[in-house]
């Protein structure tokens, strides 16, 4: 290459470089800036201060009194409630009378679910009478049906055999509930603590309950159905009735391990679970492995329903004392789910950290999941 051609080549190459540089400059100026913001900063969260302004549902309470204190607290704290009738004292009839009374007086704040008796289980027309009773309750405003733990734990047939929930005699009633789109709240089985000695139980509130109700402390009744049999019967019933709308009360009696609960939720797509009386178990698990519990809520956010098992019953406490107890319990749960505060519980020793769930998850577990599974819930 002669000197003239060499010089021209250099100029040409330089020009290409300058042109390329200029294009890069133009592109970089016109392109949006790269967002290096931490993803955490783009997620919206509630705070403790948001508690009174956010609409919430407690989908598992028991109002067994004419007193209206709990309803007034719910109104102040922006809660709706589902009060649930169960097959125990003070009896289904009286419980339902209170439920209907409160629903009619406070239709914006109270809905109710009925239950059914198994006292006449061996009667040949048990299924028909039970379905007729449920139809009457629905006509009076019931939006769901509770199956109580006496099935599988105390109920025996005339031959002396324990009756489990997958017994074929329940099928007619369950088929009716499925076809009528009436959701079922199933308290089947108990926490795993129930099968342990009192001094080995993980949760103090469980220990207190079984001291008061030894008839349900299965450790003291080794000939009764096992924990595993309770869960298997429940799952078998749901497999037989895959379209039944089912909410497993008390985390579906699987409160002891989120991996196990997740496995059952994966296996049973028609099941959601409420958290009633088992939030302390979630807190205990969070004290051991916060990330696992947090991730469980994120993954199963569409299947988890807030509930407390709080009850309003005849009491020697003043209305102000009752109101404070209910408000404080609701607020403590809100802090656990919405903040990352370091917290303590009377149910077990040691600290735990709040889950600080995103707003979208909080809205589901506190409101929209309950509205999805209990479509008849009254609205404010």
Containing structural domain, residue 146: 52-373
Is 108 within the bounds of a domain? yes
List the chain pLDDT tens, one digit each, 380 residues: 444 344 344 334 444 433 344 333 333 444 444 444 455 568 999 999 999 999 999 999 999 999 999 999 999 999 999 999 999 999 999 999 999 999 999 999 999 999 999 999 999 999 999 999 999 999 999 999 999 999 999 999 999 999 999 999 999 999 999 999 999 999 999 999 999 999 999 999 999 999 999 999 999 999 999 999 999 999 999 999 999 999 999 999 999 999 999 999 999 999 999 999 999 999 999 999 999 999 999 999 999 999 999 999 998 899 999 999 999 999 999 999 999 999 999 999 999 999 999 999 999 999 999 999 998 887 66
Is 17 within the bounds of a domain? no
Is 75 within the bounds of a domain? yes
Contacts of 3 (CB under 8 A, 6+ apart): none
* Number of domains comprising the chain: 1
How far, CA to CA in Å, does 380 sit from each of 54, 100, 175, 294, 369?
A: 12, 17, 32, 30, 16
Is 43 within the bounds of a domain? no
Is 348 within the bounds of a domain? yes
pLDDT the model gives residue 303 = 98
Parallel, antiparallel or unpaired: strands 352-353 and 56-63: unpaired
CATH of the domain at 302: 3.20.20.140
Alpha helices in 152-226 (DSSP H): 171-179, 204-212
Contacts of 325 (CB under 8 A, 6+ apart): 317
Is 30 within the bounds of a domain? no
Is 39 within the bounds of a domain? no
CA–CA gap between residue 120 and residue 52 (Å, rounded): 46
Is 11 within the bounds of a domain? no
């Amino acid at each position: 290459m002669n000197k003239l051609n060499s010089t021209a080549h250099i100029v040409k190459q330089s020009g290409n470089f300058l042109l390329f540089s200029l294009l890069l400059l133009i592109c970089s100026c016109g392109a949006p800036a790269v967002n290096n913001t931490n993803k955490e900063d783009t997620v919206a969260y509630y705070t403790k201060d948001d508690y009174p302004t956010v609409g919430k549902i407690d989908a598992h309470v028991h109002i067994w009194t004419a007193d209206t204190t709990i309803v007034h607290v719910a109104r102040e704290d922006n809660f709706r409630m589902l009060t649930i009738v169960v097959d125990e004292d003070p009896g289904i009839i009286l419980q339902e009378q209170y439920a209907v009374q409160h629903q009619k007086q406070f239709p914006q704040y109270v809905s109710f679910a009925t239950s059914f008796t198994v006292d006449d289980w061996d009667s040949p027309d048990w299924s028909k009478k039970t379905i007729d009773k449920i139809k009457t309750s629905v006509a009076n405003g019931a939006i769901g049906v509770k199956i109580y733990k006496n099935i599988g734990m105390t109920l025996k047939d005339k031959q002396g055999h324990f009756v489990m929930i997958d017994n074929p005699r329940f099928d007619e009633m369950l088929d009716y509930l499925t076809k009528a789109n009436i959701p079922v709240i199933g308290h089947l089985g108990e926490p795993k603590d129930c099968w342990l000695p009192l001094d080995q139980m993980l949760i103090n509130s469980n220990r207190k309950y079984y001291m008061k109700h030894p008839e349900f402390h299965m450790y003291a009744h080794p000939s009764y159905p096992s924990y595993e049999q309770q869960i298997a019967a429940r799952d078998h019933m749901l497999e037989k009735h895959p379209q039944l709308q089912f909410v497993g009360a008390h985390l579906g009696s699987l409160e002891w391990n989120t991996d196990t609960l997740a496995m059952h939720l994966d296996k049973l797509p028609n099941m959601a679970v409420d958290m009633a009386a088992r939030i302390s178990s979630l807190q205990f698990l969070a004290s051991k492995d916060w990330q696992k519990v947090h991730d469980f809520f994120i993954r199963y956010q569409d299947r988890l329903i807030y509930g407390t098992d709080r009850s309003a019953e005849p009491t020697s406490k003043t209305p102000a004392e009752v109101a404070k107890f209910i408000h404080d319990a609701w607020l403590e749960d809100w802090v656990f789910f919405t903040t990352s505060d370091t917290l303590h519980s009377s149910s077990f020793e040691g600290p735990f950290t709040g889950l600080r769930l995103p707003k979208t998850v909080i809205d589901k577990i506190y409101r929209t999941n309950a509205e999805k599974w209990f479509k008849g819930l009254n609205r404010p």
